[in-house]
Amino acid sequence: MHNSDEISTHLSFNGLATLYRISQLLSSGGSIEKIMEGVLDILETHAGMKRGMISILNPDNSELAVDIARGISESGKQRGRYRLGEGITGKVFATGRPIAIPKLKNEPTFLDKTGARKNLKDSDLAFLCVPVKAADDVVGTLSVDKVSVQDAVTLEGELQFLQAVAGLIAQVVVARRKQQELITALERENLELRKNLEEKGKPDLMVGNSGSMREVYRQIAQVAPSGTTVLIRGETGTGKELVAQAIHQKSPFSAGPFVPVNCAALPESLLESELFGHEKGSFTGALAKRIGRFESANNGTLFLDEVGEMSLSSQGRLLRAIQEKEIQRVGGSTAIHVNVRLICATNRDLETDVAEGRFREDLYYRINVFTVHLPPLRERGADVLLLADYFIKKYASMNNKQIERISTPAIDMLSSYHWPGNVRELENVMERAVLVSTENVINGHDLPPTLRIKEADLQGTRKDTFEAMVASYERELIVDALKDARGNQTKAAQILGTTKRIIQYKIQRLNIDYRKLRGSA
């Protein structure tokens, strides 16, 4: 053996400078494949080492995780996949010891599977292969060709140089693995948290599994435990009041009352006395003292529905009450302390109302702390059918009726209607259908004319309406799961409680580009 100083003097290139370049590259970040290609580039340009190959094992199985080759064609690379234990590379994998072969043509175990050397004179080439080791584990190999002009001392020196390179590579591989393990653990945790949130947030009385509704459930779970003011937005009939009740029930205020006030239902003068109460004789007709809703909601939740309909003067009073946590009864002078959780709802475009001076900007910021947006029913995919089914059960049992199914034409009508009145409209439609149905089936003619007008249009397309809808729902579920799983099909299959094979089949059939979903969670 020679000591390394002595050996490095025998190198035909500057070993230290090359190692330095490589270490710089290794700390530069980027994909591991790119980095390894860079290493092979440097070895080629600065150390005269050609046709380099780096193979790194996947820690989870015995497949190659990284398999980079220089100067070898793609098909050569395919052929070059050495089974571990086969050939020289395999031997290095198995023994963890470097191998140098001064002249390839003298070596019977050299397989040249890649075919890269078939045009070269065999006698010109030396082959060097060193293990990439993490602690005592062989995690990969690094191999190169050299033009075989060296004496044994030079060859030994180059082998040592390559081992130093392999040592640097090993450090990067180990660091990347640790990082990957951490990311995987975090992802798993994140996934569980999201699932937990969804389950925690799902109100018992709310039906729907669409991605947009699951987002709503997560938001409910997030905001309910705090005392934060919530603004619930969404078209009419989308379930804003249900969400407000759910937040109350899942909040620390749940032992207190839930007090709803519809701000649109009362004229300005009455609304103020409704909210804040009044003293006896404070206005004509105020025959007795009255406790307002703010006071009765003490230690509970005050739900201000249609908050966008309040007059500017009532808005001012409301703002003071929120800021000071105190109210004064109309006609009264004492301040009464109140402790309430405030939830507001609106289907108005409050931003426009603010811009046009109909809604106070300062109040807008006070109530718009955490927003839950309820999607319109037409954007909830097959939730329409889940809800239809739910309402049939509800009204059938209320009316002692036996309804077994919805006919296909009726399903198509329900699916293709645009539901301007959202869930409330659907609920009314189903209640009526249950009442008027004479068989134990909901038929097309049990649905109101607004839906039936479409019956003629549906002829011929009826088959794909339902199927297209189910497909679109399926697609949404799978895309959601893939997003959660960052494009990982196995994980997505776990989330959906199915097998990878089925997921793969559906991805293909529904033409989902799962690669695009990587990292989009």
Nearer residue to Mg ion within complex by CB, 327 or 372: 372
Residues 304 to 323 in contact with ligand ATP, rule: CB under 6 A? 305
Q: Which stretch binds ligand ATP (CB under 6 A): 203-211, 320-328, 349-357, 436-444?
A: 203-211
- Do residues 264 and 309 make contact, with C-beta atoms less than 8 angstroms apart? yes
Which residue from 222, 228, 236, 504 is in contact with ligand ATP, where contact means CB under 6 A?
Answer: 236
Q: What is the DSSP string of 482-507?
A: HHHTTT-HHHHHHHTTS-HHHHHHHH
How many CB atoms lie under 10 A from the CB of residue 335? Answer: 12
Phi, psi torsion values for 235, nearest 5 degrees: -60, 170
Q: What is the rounded CA–CA span in Å between residue 13 and residue 162?
A: 13
Nearer residue to ligand ATP within complex by CB, 44 or 235: 235
Nearest approach in angstroms of CB 521 to ligand ATP is 25
What residue 117 binds from ligand ATP, Mg ion, none (CB within 5 to 8 A, per partner kind)? none
Nearer residue to Mg ion within complex by CB, 303 or 514: 303
What residue 237 binds from ligand ATP, Mg ion, none (CB within 5 to 8 A, per partner kind)? ligand ATP
Q: What is the rounded CA–CA span in Å between residue 218 and residue 396?
A: 31
How many CB atoms lie under 10 A from the CB of residue 504? Answer: 15
Q: Which stretch binds ligand ATP (CB under 6 A): 181-189, 234-242, 324-332, 352-360?
A: 234-242
Binding residues with ligand ATP: total (CB under 6 A): 18
Q: Which stretch binds Mg ion (CB under 5 A): 206-214, 235-243, 445-453, 497-505?
A: 235-243
- Site map (CB under 5 A) of Mg ion, residues 283-312, x = contact: ----------------------x-------
Neighbouring residues of 306: CB distance < 8 A, sequence distance ≥ 6: 262, 263, 264, 265, 345, 346, 347, 348
Q: Does 241 bind Mg ion (CB under 5 A)?
A: yes
**Secondary structure of 389-425 in HEC code, one letter for each residue:** HHHHHHHHHHCCCCCCEECHHHHHHHHHCCCCCHHHH
Q: Does 329 bind ligand ATP (CB under 6 A)?
A: no
- Do residues 310 and 318 make contact, with C-beta atoms less than 8 angstroms apart? yes
Nearer residue to ligand ATP within complex by CB, 56 or 206: 206
Phi, psi torsion values for 353, nearest 5 degrees: -60, -40
- Site map (CB under 6 A) of ligand ATP, residues 369-398, x = contact: ------------------x-----------
Nearest approach in angstroms of CB 32 to ligand ATP is 46
Q: Does 423 bind ligand ATP (CB under 6 A)?
A: yes
- Do residues 42 and 22 make contact, with C-beta atoms less than 8 angstroms apart? yes
Q: Where do contacts with Mg ion occur on this chain (CB under 5 A)?
A: 240-241, 305
